[in-house]
Structure formats: structure tokens, C-alpha cells
Amino acid sequence: MRLAAILLVLALPVAAEEAALADRFPKGATAYFEARNLGRKLDDVLASPLALALRDSAGLKQALASPQMAQALLAEAFVKGATGHDFQGLFRAIAGSEIAAAAYGSPQRLLLLARVDPKAAEQILKGAEILAKQQRAVVVPADGTLPALWQLGPAFVCIDGDVLAVSTDQILAGAVRGRAAEGLEGDGRLEEARRAAGRGDAFAFVDLAAHAPGRKSEKAKDVGQALIGGMVGHVGAEAPWAALRLDLARDGDGLRLAARAVAPVPAELPPAVRDAYMGTLEPFPFAVPEETIGLVRLHRSLPALWSNRDALVAEREIPKLVEFETNFGNLTGGMDFVEQFLPSLKGDEMSFLATRRAWPKDAPAPAIRLPQMAFLFPVAATEEMATKLQVAFQTGIGIVNATQGMMTSSFMTYTEMYDGVLVQFARYLPPSKGELEASQGLPIRYNFEPSAALVDGHYVLATSPGIVKQLIDGRGKTAPAGEGVNAGLWLRAAAARESLAENREALVADTMLKKGDDRATAEKKIDLLLDLARHVKSVSFTAEEGEGIFALALDVRLGGAEGAK
């Protein structure tokens, strides 16, 4: 049985187009996977410059020396003794042409079909018989440490000389051998899912109604979840099925992994959900700064979220929102949040931007250097609105000084005209000499210089005036969001790694404290993290809307260390 489990696990990570094997499966599968030419795809990946570079990496050597890898090598030797193939050779034989797998209502009812060379099929079948005999001779220990699947007794069948069937269920194996009259190709939902997911290296389908009956949309547990999670929880709770497309390919000197999960948008999606969440992003209205670590953008209607809060947010959060309305009025000199502020918003969008911050070389800097961050949203750029927002910023700083000043130090407020834009910001008073020495640099709070400005119809709240100025410099330019994108996260890995490298010492100290490691061990862990991060070029994760379809898409690009610096 271990062989069947191994084959299924190996099959899942990569693959290609619609497989003709689908019609050999009995109808009624509750989960299905198909792919082509995985063997060649694996060879191409292993021959890439990135894979060759990683073979000599400290991280791989460390992984190969782990106890888990020792167990895997033992299992590989066991399989090779029976089949004549190591794991890689077995993978090539099984996944060289077409491969497909299906589940029928239970993880214990699995069926895998693979088109293989007849000689390889004969060798694998003989090996399977050897493994079965050895399996029957194994006495399961009382503590039950062997996998439960081991006891199922897999069935191996060869059809037409070149289709190998591996099943954990004798009835399924018999159905394949007898050629069911109606196969999976006649399943309308499977075909609908294929069309929605698009063609790729691999395709998977899950019948959500069968695997998760009784699902029900729930209100967001808190306001942050309501803003960020959006429609995902509602679609996931109501959709009858979900499909996944996977692609893995060479990308210059590296690799690109793309995954796209899709589900149909329920026809009965609550109006509150549609009003608050549905819609697509326009291009980002500023040039993205070179120093950008990450950008998050959300299409969210704050007025719709607020008016439908009873339907979207957990009941315990409602008093907090009422309290926020009152505090907002106090901060803005009496502006009503619902009647005046929400109508002033000029778009259903909010963005979060993080960039690296440059610190003067010859001046003290915090021992822990955080990125500078900004939150921005479109608002009416009237003189009255600008005045009220300026008052809100100054009042907020005053409240912080009144409540926090005795514990740390107070803020001093400043204003600066930068390229025609009034920028407000606040800075902590300088630390005492003793605090500076104790912190071995500026305390962490000096990362924060609260800042605000009205920039081209967008109100910007930031942790530093530097990022506000970066946005001002980027006026008049745009950055595309992608077609149909409802929300997205875009990371620039090189800048993220540089930010981590700046804080290496703090990361080492944190690892020693939380994990109980000595310094040498902690340094190895952090340096391994930094080394692996050099091979990540970019990461994006988006939520996308199509005609009746909602999708989540992940795109990861990996490359040689030179390209990631």
C-alpha cells in the first residue's frame, strides 16, 4: 500500500493538459486529478540553473542530513529492491506520459491510472507482488505506528499493456478492468470546472458538496477579517465545487510556479456581500517606488461594509464600530463618519504599501529597522475636507502625547511643503543617553514618525514622511493591477530580503529567545533563511472575478541568487 500512497503523493505537485485517461474512471468521483508528461517536466526542472545551484546549497545539505530524509531514503531502498526503480525513476515511469487519480467519497477509496511503457508496467507489477508479500509478513505494532493505508491491500492491474491501475479498493480496480460504460468524461461539472480553470500542467477537481456538506457562510470574526477576507469565505461556503490548475516551467535561469483555484459564484450570494466586495481594481494611481517591499490592494466598498455590518461582521464587533464612529467625530472636529465622511470617498478601494527606509549612515538608527508603511484611499480633495483631515491628524497626535508621553517620550509635530503638497508628520523627542546605550541604537519606537497628506485625491496615512514623499514623486503615473483583479498582494522579494538582512542580529536574538537555541544554531537558521530568500524573485497572490467565477491565483518566480539580489 505504501507504493500506492507514494505514487499519489508524487503525482500531485506538477503536471499538464487534459488527459484521455479520464473516461476509464468510473463515474461518481468526488475528487479528481490529471496531468501529462510529468517525467519530462521533472527532468527540465532538475536541469535548470536554479536546481543545479541549489544542489550545493547549505539548505539542501542540511535537509538531506535530517532524520526525515533518512527515513525517506530507507523507504526508497525498500521500493527499489522490489521494482528496480528509485523514487525518481519510478516517477518517470509512472508519470512519463499520462497520469490521473480519483477519490470516491473516502480517502480509503483511491484509484490511480498511469500510461506507462509495457516493460516498465511488467516490472512494476512484479515489484508490487513482492511488496505485497513483504507487507503481509509485517506485524503491525500495538501502538499502531504504521500508516492506516498500509493495511488496505492495494490492487495492481495492467490494462491494454500500457495502462497501469493502482487502487486501494478491489471494487474500483475491478470496475476499471471491466471498463465502466460511463466514465468521468460524461460528468458535466467536471467539464465546467476544466473550462473555468483553463489548461495547464495539472488539473484537480473537488466536489465540495460531497466533501463538506452542511457548509454555511459565517460572519467575519472581526473587522480586519471582513476587510481582507471579503468574498472568499462566502464563496467557499456556498460553491458546489472547486478546481485547481497548476503550472511549473523554466523561467530564464529559474522557475515559475503558478496555481489558480476557481469556484463558481453562487447565484444566491447575499446582496450585502456583492455590494461590499464585488468589483475590480483600476490601475494603481501612482508609480510603485523602487524600494517597494510589498503592495496590497483591495476593492472594498466601505459605505456598503458599514451599512451592512450587521450581516457581515460578528455581533461582538458592532459596539467597537459604534465607538469608532464617536471617536472619529471627536478627532475631526465633529465630522459625522456616516453622513459626511463615507459619502466623501471617491472610490471603492484601499491600498497598503511597504517600502524600505533609508537611515543616515553617520547617525543613530534603531537596532530593529522596520519598513515604512502607508495606508491610502481616494477621498474628495476639497479644502474643507483637507482641513478636517489635518485637524484629525493633529488631534490624534495630541491624544497619543497625553496618554503615552509619560511612558516613553512625546511627539513633536511638523509640517513641510513637498512638491506642492502639505505633509504633516510627528517625531519623538531624542532619547536620553542611557536609553540610547541600553538599546544599542535608537529604540524601536523611532521607526514610527506618523505622517499624513492629501496626495492627488488620495488621503495617505503613513509611518514615515519618506514614504509619503515617494508617493508624491510617483504622481501622474500608474501601475497595472491585472485584468479582473478584485484584491491582490504583490511582493518584491529582493527588497524584502534586504530588509530581513538589515535585521539579522535581531532575528538571531529572537530565535535564541523563542526556540532556546544557542547563538551558533540560531545564526545557522537565520542565514539559511536569508540564503534561500536570495532565490525568490517575486510573489503575487490575487483574488480575481470572472463571469460567474471567483478565483485565487498564486504566482511565484524563483531564480539564481545573482538575479535575486
DSSP codes, 362-430? TS--BSS-PPEEEEEEEB---HHHHHHHHHHHHHHHHHHHHHHTTTS--EEEEEEEETTEEEEEEEEPP
Furthest-apart CA atoms within the chain: distance in Å: 85
- The C-alpha atoms of residue 23 and residue 50 are separated, in whole angstroms, by 38
Please tell me whether residue 282 adopts helix, strand or coil conformation: coil
- What one-letter code names the amino acid at 51? A
* Cβ atoms 222, 314 nearer than 8 A: yes
In order along its 565 residues, the chain shows pLDDT tens digits of 333 333 333 333 333 333 468 878 888 889 999 988 777 777 777 777 777 777 776 666 666 666 767 666 766 776 676 666 676 766 666 666 788 889 988 767 888 888 877 777 777 777 767 666 665 554 444 444 444 334 444 566 677 767 777 777 777 766 776 565 567 777 888 889 989 998 888 999 999 888 777 777 778 888 888 888 878 888 878 888 999 999 988 888 888 999 999 999 988 888 999 999 999 999 999 999 999 999 999 999 999 999 999 989 989 999 999 999 998 888 887 889 999 999 999 989 999 999 999 888 888 888 888 999 999 999 988 888 888 899 999 998 988 888 875 666 789 999 999 999 999 999 998 887 777 777 677 888 899 999 999 999 999 999 999 999 999 999 999 999 989 999 999 999 999 999 888 888 888 888 888 888 888 888 888 888 888 788 889 999 999 998 889 999 999 998 866 444 3
- The C-alpha atoms of residue 457 and residue 217 are separated, in whole angstroms, by 36
* Cβ atoms 512, 519 nearer than 8 A: yes
pTM: 0.83
